[in-house]
Amino acid sequence: MKKTSTRLADGRELIYYDLGDDRVRDAVDRRPLEPTVTSSQIRRDPLLGDAVAIASHRQGRTYHPPADQCPLCPTRDGDRLSEIPDSTYDVVVFENRFPSLAGDSGRCEVVCFTSDHDTSFAALGEEQVRLVLEAWTDRTAELSHLPAVQQVFCFENRGAEIGVTLQHPHGQIYAYPFVTPRTALMLRSLAAHREASGGENLFDAVLDRELADERVVLTGEHWVAFVPYAAHWPYEVHLYPRRRVPDLLALDEAARTEFPQIYLELLKRFDRIFGADEPPTPYIAAWHQAPFGQLTDFEGVGRDDFALHLELFTIRRTSGKLKFLAGSESGMSVFINDVPPERAAERLREVASS
């Protein structure tokens, strides 16, 4: 992998990740951009303790542009200028022009998985997926060193139903200046289980339980994918490395090598859940990593107790129908799942590649 860092016309950082060591990236951003102005601030809900990002500047972000005006495609034909100055790329990461978090409030980056506008992550080759994994890992390392950052979150939103406004295959990375509420819940459960069990790791216990049950979807030598016992979403899969590690940086070479084939198979199965006549399955794919720094609010728990894992889920519950977060989910955070996890796992095994 070759990494080349440059700056866009408004001062934002852009990084090329190339498969070949001989690639030269010296194209200049020729757009007449003014410096990016953001108004992000973090407010704390006094009753729930949640952090809420207020980012009014995002109202003007790019919204469903036509394909020939996609800002994530490479610059082409001399005057078709985009966020990527070069005429081609393998993987690119750049600072979001309309970030939810900025400055002392964190950082937001866009990850372009490929220069091909009309493909999807599931259609990438294994070598390309490995390059994306290396980009996620490198950005996690770099962002973790920023003074304000406590947690790094790599994710992909796919499909208009999810709320995606740019159709080019891409994901995002959020660097939060706090431990997110969902991670804090996991850490509290981890601490409570450790205390109640006399030192057992909850993530290890969950993985052992799932391996012994009927919800396993796919296994490799280094990775395990399963539908969780209490799945929130109609079709939800958690992907764990068999060897517990706190973050992407700690994955060994064997796990990195196997990841592309395991993950691509999962994504292909997601697209087959509802049949060949259905449009591509909308999903969210989210990496959960241990926060950086001391976990002083979670007694007895350290970074190495956390288990890196990826959560992949869709909001489509059946053909042509979506799972909406209505009264119970939105009002009380109590999910109601219409698809039994055991049936979801069975279906995901049925649609395996031949």
Tens of pLDDT, residue by residue, the chain (354 residues)? 999 999 999 999 999 999 999 999 999 999 999 887 777 889 999 999 999 999 877 766 776 788 889 999 999 877 789 999 999 999 999 999 999 998 889 999 999 999 999 999 999 999 999 999 999 999 999 999 999 999 999 999 999 999 998 999 999 999 999 999 999 999 999 999 999 999 999 999 999 999 999 999 999 999 999 999 999 999 999 999 999 999 999 999 999 999 999 999 999 999 999 998 889 999 999 999 999 987 888 888 999 999 999 999 999 999 999 999 999 999 999 999 999 999 999 999 999 997
The total number of structural domains in the chain stands at 2
Number of H helices, E strands in the chain: 6, 15
Q: How far apart are CA 166 and CA 178, in angstroms?
A: 28
Q: Residue 256 sits in a domain of what CATH number?
A: 3.30.428.10
Tell which of 160, 176, 192 closes a domain: 176
Q: 80: which DSSP letter? A: B
Contact 204, 330 (CB under 8 A): no
Q: Is 239 helix (H, G, I), strand (E, B) or coil?
A: strand
Query: Quick one: 122 and 84 in the same domain?
Result: yes
Contacts of 48 (CB under 8 A, 6+ apart): 181
Tell which of 176, 195, 220 closes a domain: 176
Query: Quick one: 155 and 195 in the same domain?
Result: no
147 by Cβ neighbours in 10 Å (0-12 / 13-18 / 19+) ranks as exposed
Query: Quick one: 20 and 75 in the same domain?
Result: yes
Query: Quick one: 167 and 201 in the same domain?
Result: no
Query: Quick one: 163 and 15 in the same domain?
Result: yes
Domain that holds residue 319: 181-350
Query: Quick one: 206 and 341 in the same domain?
Result: yes
Tell which of 123, 157, 176 closes a domain: 176
Is there a catalytic annotation at residue 170?
yes
Q: Where would I find the H helices in the chain?
A: 126-144, 181-197, 202-211, 253-272, 332, 341-350
331 by Cβ neighbours in 10 Å (0-12 / 13-18 / 19+) ranks as exposed
Query: Quick one: 76 and 202 in the same domain?
Result: no
Catalytic residue among 64, 117, 145, 170: 170
Query: Quick one: 86 and 191 in the same domain?
Result: no
Query: Quick one: 168 and 185 in the same domain?
Result: no
Query: Quick one: 139 and 235 in the same domain?
Result: no
